[in-house]
Amino acid sequence: MKIEVVQLENIRSHVKSTVPFARGFNCLVGGLGCGKSSILYAIDFALFGDPIGRSYDYLLREGAERGKVVVQFTHNGRSYKIARGLKRRGKGISQDFDELKLFEGETLIASVKSDAVAEQLKAITGLEKELFREIVWVRQEHLKELLDAPPRERQKRLDELFGLSEYETAWSNLAGYQKEYEGEKRVYEKDPDIVGMKKLNEEYNSLAREFALLEVDLQETTRKLGEARKALGEADLKLKKLEELKTSVENLKRKEAQIQASLTSLEDSLASLAEKVEGKKAIIDSLKQRLSAMEAQANAYKETLKEVGVPADQPVEALRQHLSAFDEQIASLKAEQEAILRNLQADQRRLTSLSAENRCPLCLQPLNVDYKTSLVERIQKENVERQKTISQLQKDIGELQQIREKANSAISNLQTLLPRIEDLKTRLNEESKALAELSREFEEKQKMENTLRTQLEGIRAEIGRFDVSQLELAKKLREQVFQQYYVLESELRTKENRKRDMVRRLDEIKERIDQAQKKIEDMEKLDKILGVIGSIRDAYRSIQPKLRSEFVKVLKNFVQQILDSLVGEEGAPINITIDETYTPYVISETGVEREVSNLSGGERTLIAFAYRLGLGQLIMQFRTGHGLSLLLLDEPTESLGREDGSIDRLAEAISRFKAVEQIIAVTHSEAFAEKAEHVIRVEKEAGESKISVEK
C-alpha cells in the first residue's frame, strides 16, 4: 500500500491542506505544534474511523462545524480513494456517515456503513485497525513501548499480533469442553439404567410373555362379552316393546279418563245449551210481540200524517220540513190578516173623518153630499168584505194550527218510536243469530258425544287385551342377562386396564432400554471425543512454543539486519539475541548478554526502531502474506543527537531501507529531514497550517 495524497479540511490546525507523498522516504518537517502529526492522525481516521480515545475532540478544528479527510492510495497497481467526515452535534462530535465513501478508481465500492468499508479495506490491503496502530503507525513516544514492557506482557501482546494467542485460547476453551464431556461421562457411568441394563432386559422379556397370555384371555372374554351383549340387546328389545305397549295402555287409560271426563262435561254442556235455547226462544217471542205493537203504533201515526196531507214514508227530518211549510202558511195567512185589518182600520178612520167633515181625507178636497154618501157606502161595503175575509183567515189559521199540532204530535211520536223499533229489530236479529248458533253448537256437541262414546268403547276393548304378567317376566329375564353382561364387561375392563398398564410398563422399559443403549453409545462417543480433545490440546500446547521459537529466530535475523543497516560500517556493531518472551538482549564482544535498558538513549532508540521494523515485517508477512509496505514514524529521533551522528545514521539507514515501499516520518529535526528523498515542510501562519513541498 502506498499513500499518494492526503487532503485535510478543518482537521486540527489544517483549514484546507493537500499533502502529496511519493514512493520511498517521505519526511514531514516543521516546528513544534505546526500540524505535522495531525496528518498522521488524519490518515488513521480516514482508514478506520474510530477515535483514539473516547471522542473526536483531538481531530476536529476548534470552532468548525464540519471536517473531512480524503486519502488517495495505490495497492497492487490499482488506485483507491477513501473519504470520511466529522460534524459537530451540540457539544459532541461524531462521524458524518454521509461523507463515508470508498472508491476503486472512479467506481464507488462501499459507502455510508463503517463495517462495509472496513471489510472492503481489509480485503484490499490486509490491514485492520489493531495491526495498523501497533505495526504500521509508530506514534510519538511509543517507539520504545514494547522494549519497556514487562516480558510476560510483551509476550502476550506479540502472541496476539502473531496470532499465537489463538492457540492458547483454543487450548483453554477445549479444557472447558473436556471438563464438560468428562462430567457428562461420569453421569452416564452412574446412570442406574446403564448399570442395570441386564435386569431391565429380563424384566422386559417377562412382561412380554405375560402380555401374550393376557392377549389370549382378552380375546376369549371379548367373545363372551359379544354373546352377552347380543342376548342383552334381544332382552332389551323385547322389554322395550312390552314397556312401550304398557306405556301405550297407560296412555289409553289416561285417554279413557279424559274421554269419560269429556263426556260428563259434554252432557252438562248439552243440558245447559238446551236451557239456553229455550230461554232464547222466549226472549225472541217477547221481542216479536213488542215489535208488532210498536209497528202498529207507528202505522197509526203515519195514517194520521196521511190524513193531514203529509207523506208518511219519509225520514223524520223530511217530515220536519213539512211542519216548516205549515208554519210558513200560517205566517202568510197571519200577515194577510194583519194587512186587511190595517186597511180596515184605515177605512174606519176615513169614515170617522168623513162624518165630521166634507173633505176627502186623502186629498183634502171638498166633497159634495152625493159623492160623500157614495164614498161612505163603498167604504162600509169594503169593510164588511174585509171583516168577512179576516174571519175566514182566522178560521183558516186555526185549522192550519190544529193540523200542524196533529202532524207535529205524530212526527214527534214517530221520532221516538222508530229508533226503538230499529233497536228491537236489531236485538231480535241478534237473538235469532244467537239462537241459531246455540242450536248449531247443540247439534255439534250431540255429534261429539256420539263420537266420544264410540272411541271410549274402542279404547276399553284395547286395554282389555294387555297382559301385565308378560312384562314382569321380560324384566326378570333382562335383569339376569344384564348381570351376566355386567360381570363380563367388568372383567374385560379390568383386563384391558391391566393390558394398558402392561403396555405402558413395556413402553417405559423399552424406552429406558433404548435410552440406556443410546447413553452407552453416547458414552462411547464421549470416550472418542475426549481422546480427540486431549490430542488437540496436546497439539495446541506443543505447537505454540514451536511457532514462537520460529518467529523469534526470524525476528532476530530481521532486527539484526536492520541494526546493521542503521549502524553502518563506520559505527560500532550492535549484536542482539531475542528470547522466548520476545525480549531483545545485546551481546557484548565478550559474549555477555546485556539488557537493552542498560544501553544509552541513542542505542536504545536505534534498537527500538530496528525491533519495531523487524516486528512489522514479520507480522505483516504472517498476517497478510506480504511484507511491510507502509511505515508511519512520528518523531523517531527521540534520544538521538546530531553530535554523535546517530540522527544522520538513522536517516541514512531509513533512506537505504528499500524493503518498505513507503516510509512517512514526522520530525522537527532538519538534519533527519536532509536525508529524506521527499521533504514536505509544514508551517503555521496565523493559527493555520501551510504545506510546501521542498523536494
H/E/C letters for each residue in 283-346?
HHHHHHHHHHHHHHHHHHHHHHHHHCCCCCCCCHHHHHHHHHHHHHHHHHHHHHHHHHHHHHHH
| C-alpha of 274 from chain center | 80
pLDDT at residue 263, as a whole number: 84
Report whether 310 contacts 409 (CB < 8 A).
Answer: no
pLDDT for 640 equals 63
State the pTM of this model. Answer: 0.49
Gyration radius (Cα) of the chain, Å: 74
Locate CATH 3.40.50.300 in the chain. 2-141+599-693
Q: First CA to last CA across the chain, in angstroms?
A: 22
Q: Given this model, what pLDDT does residue 663 score? A: 92
Quote the pLDDT of residue 141: 67
**Rounded to an integer, what distance in angstroms lies between the CA atom of residue 644 and that of residue 653?**
15
Take residue 168 and report the three cell numbers written for it.
492458547
- Class level of CATH domain 302-463: mainly alpha
Do 466 and 308 form a contact (C-beta atoms < 8 A)? no
Q: Which helix (H) or strand (E) holds 248?
A: helix 197-307
The Cα–Cα gap between 346 and 379 comes to: 10
| pLDDT by 10-residue block (mean), the chain, 695 residues | 95 95 94 92 94 88 93 94 94 92 94 91 88 83 75 80 69 74 78 81 87 88 87 84 79 84 85 87 88 86 79 74 78 86 83 71 66 80 86 85 81 82 88 88 86 83 74 82 87 89 88 83 80 71 74 80 70 79 81 78 76 80 78 79 68 77 91 90 93 89
CA pair distance 516, 525, nearest whole angstrom: 14
> What does the block give as the cell for 674?
536532509
pLDDT of residue 168: 67
Q: CB within 8 A of 209, min separation 6: which ones? A: none
- CB burial readout 491-508, b (16+ within 10 A) else e: ebeebeeeeeebeeebee
Q: Pick one of 3.40.50.2000, 2.60.40.10, 3.40.50.12500, 3.40.50.300 as the CATH number of 2-141+599-693.
A: 3.40.50.300
Question: Cα 30–32–36 angle (5° rounding)?
Answer: 55
Q: Sign (positive/negative) of CA torsion 27, 33, 39, 41?
A: positive
What's residue 109's pLDDT?
A: 93
Q: Which three cell numbers stand for residue 559?
A: 532486527
Q: How many CB atoms lie within 10 A of CB 574?
A: 18
Stated as kind and residue range, the H or E segment containing 267 is: helix 197-307
Q: What stretch(es) of the chain map to CATH 1.10.287.510?
A: 302-463
C-alpha–C-alpha distance, residues 64 and 66, integer Å: 6
CA 100 to chain centre: 40
CA quadruple 5, 6, 8, 14: dihedral, nearest 10: -100
